[in-house]
Chain A
Amino acid sequence: MDVAAPASGERVLDGSVAAIPVAALVAVFGASFGVLARTSGFPLLGAVAMSATTFAGSAQFAAVSILAEGGGLAAAVVAAVLLNARYGPIGLSVAPYLPGAWLRRVLASQLVVDESWAIASRTDGSVSPQRLIGAGLAVYLGWVGGTALGAAAGNALADPAALGLDAAFPALFLGLLAPRVREPRARRAAAAGALIALVLVPFTPPGVPVIAAAAGAVLGQRR
């Protein structure tokens, strides 16, 4: 997967094609989210509606798990918002590149997930809106479609953990990171991000380590 594609002649379809393996993986996880949501008391339509509007896997898993364990609505919403807080700085980095009228830009911003953003962002910090939209749509179809299948089929599906699929996401993120760290300053940023996350995991709620790594990268840049 090329992450440093040229600025000219990029097409939405290129982003979609680049995202096909990612979208397939996301679909499997969408299915497992659908199963979890149904067994946690969500109606089929509610599970699909959450995937269609929230479109952020880790936050959805966290919110539904907390409700299933009797943790309460406020705790579920706070956990989800914390896990999604990284999309604040990510959205800021993407916004200048989104073209068109206000509504169109807001819609495009909703297609930002870790995977589509990684496929669309170039090594110099700029973002390809075509690749973002193409990859975002492919991953969105996988996530919402997978959720619908899982919520409808229920426990007939295999357990993703038994297939090792929960290990696929860190490997995916590592693969998206690998081509970027040939440059020494990017390598230092990655090391700093990993270190910040490692130190904060035992002491902060999930989501905080990643947002701290994002803050470190932006603040460290301005020196």
Chain B
Amino acid sequence: MSTPWAAVLLVGLGTVVIKAAGVLLLSGSSSRVRSAARFEHLAPAVLAALVVTASLSDGSRLVLDERSAGLAAAAAVLARRGPLFLAVGTAALVTALLRQL
């Protein structure tokens, strides 16, 4: 098997198993109340960590670059209760313009 196809197979298999692990370990009738209480803070923590890794890191380095400025602009839109698509568009526009400089 060629290396690309081996990667397709192994990465696919690994990801399918990771994503299915919850279903394989927990039945549909397991306690939803307990589950919700336990994972109440998962979404804010993971989303905040993703913001950091997607805007301030380049591999294993911390960087401040055009993306960081774009994110700051998006934060300003969101702080004024602007809609999500406007925040995302602003981040892309600011980043693209700064890269043209």
Interface residues of A (CB under 8 A from B): 1, 21, 25, 37, 40-43, 46, 49-50, 53-56, 59-60, 63-64, 67, 73, 76-77, 80-81, 84-100, 102, 105-106, 108-110, 112, 114, 117-118, 121, 124-126, 161-178, 180-181, 185-187, 189-194, 196-198, 201-206, 209-210, 212-214, 216-218, 220-222
Interface size on B, residues (CB 8 A): 76
Task: Given A77-B7, A167-B55, A213-B48, verify A125-B42 contact (CB < 8 Å).
Answer: yes
Q: Hey, which chain B residues are within 8 Å of A168, CB to CB?
A: 88-89, 91-92
Alpha-carbon separation in the docked complex, A197 to B56 (Å):
10
A190 adjacent to B20 (CB under 8 Å): no
Q: How far is the CA of A40 from the CA of B71 in the complex (A)?
A: 30
Q: Would you give the shortest CB distance from B76 to chain A, in whole angstroms?
A: 11
Q: Give B37 Cβ to nearest chain A Cβ, in Å.
A: 6
Asked if B15 and A59 make an inter-chain contact with CB atoms under 8 angstroms apart, the answer reads: yes
Q: Assess A167 versus B95: contact at CB under 8 Å? Given A87-B19, A174-B71, A213-B49.
A: yes
Number of interchain pairs (Cβ within 8 Å): 320
The reply on B54 being an interface residue by CB < 8 A is yes
Give 17 pairs: A residue, B residue, CB < 8 Å, sorted on A.
A54-B16, A89-B42, A90-B22, A90-B42, A91-B23, A95-B23, A97-B32, A118-B43, A168-B89, A189-B41, A198-B62, A201-B52, A210-B50, A216-B45, A217-B44, A220-B41, A221-B38
A96 & B26 in contact (Cβ 8 Å cutoff): yes
A216, B46: Cα distance in complex, Å:
10
A46 CA to B51 CA in the complex, in Å? 30
Cβ-neighbour of A197 out of B40, B41, B48, B71 (below 8 A): B48
Contacts of A194 in B (CB 8 A): 48-49, 51-52
Verify A201–B7 contact, CB threshold 8 A. no
- B18 adjacent to A84 (CB under 8 Å): yes
Given contacts A49-B8, A177-B47, A202-B62, 6 further A-B contacts (CB under 8 A): A53-B12, A73-B3, A167-B71, A189-B48, A197-B48, A202-B61
